[in-house]
Amino acid sequence: MKNRKMSRKNQSSRFKTAPDILREIQYLQLSDTFNFECTRCGECCRNVEWSVLLEPYDLFRIAQYFKRGDRPGQRVEDVIMEYTDITTLPNADYPIFLMKTQGSLKSCVFLKDGRCSIHEAKPKACRLYPLGAWPNDAMNGFNYFIASQKQHHFSGPSIRVSDWMDANFSVDDRSVTLEEAQSIKELAPVIRLLKNSGVSPKLVLQPLIIFKYVFFELDEPFLPQLSRNTEQLKKILLGIAKETKR
């Protein structure tokens, strides 16, 4: 596996103040219902500036999609540089990537002629819309929520949350999401240790970006790479903490 790094200049120029991407959400149970019908209007792809989160697996799948098409040399880094903006979670110094937008309507950069141009590889946030899912604290299940910013979307037939998730939240999605959440949980105390030790955030962000998002081979399964990267990242960050104490 090759070590592919984003340049320091490109990284530092893309940091912005974190938006409140979790505002206006309501938590649901699997037995709950909601009203929704997709009319392929593309409205959920417009006015989405700073709101579509791209998880590591999303970036990996998009890069794979392009590589299978007319971009044989495609890398995850290329997707990051061309289609995303970077920010950090509030009070966490943890990097996240958000979908770039275009035009006066702040439409998703992949919206072409009113349709998703990467439908086969669209991010989890888009596949699950208007719902979302993230592991619970015990890591033995998921919390489900509905994004209610666009109230006019909630019409049409009544849908049970469990049915929507069965149709749109695949086994692979669930496995990767649980592994990603566990990874963040393991890294959080190390990041706090570094922050409390006065280590520069940029010194921590660089390995986080590389090993959480960039350092993936598209011809290999994602999940084993994520596990290996997390272990390597912990070693690197603990090494930084050790050097700081000297």
pLDDT tens string 149-191: 666 677 889 999 999 999 999 999 999 999 999 999 988 888 9
Q: Could you give the CA distance from residue 25 to residue 130 in angstroms, rounded to a whole number?
A: 10
Alpha carbon separation from 38 to 121, 159, 241 (Å, rounded):
18, 12, 49
Given this model, what pLDDT does residue 70 score?
Answer: 86
The pLDDT confidence band at residue 103, using thresholds 50, 70 and 90, is: very high
DSSP state of 122: -
- For the stretch 199-227, what's the b/e string if a residue is b when 16 or more beta carbons lie within 10 angstroms of its beta carbon? bebeebbbbbbbbbbbbbebeeebeebbe
Please tell me the distance from the alpha carbon of residue 147 to that of residue 30, in angstroms, as a whole number: 15
What is the predicted pLDDT for the residue at 15? Answer: 42
The pLDDT, as a whole number, for residue 223 is 95
Burial of 85 (0-12, 13-18, 19+ CB in 10 A): middle
Q: How far apart are CA 126 and CA 45, in angstroms?
A: 9
pLDDT at 25: 72
Average pLDDT value for the chain: 87
The answer, yes or no, to whether residue 220 has pLDDT greater than 80, is yes
pLDDT value at 9 more than 80 = no
pLDDT surpassing 90 at residue 88: no
- The pLDDT value given to residue 197: 86
**Mean local confidence (pLDDT), 188-214:** 91
Is residue 22's pLDDT more than 60?
Answer: no
* Whether the model pTM is above 0.75: yes
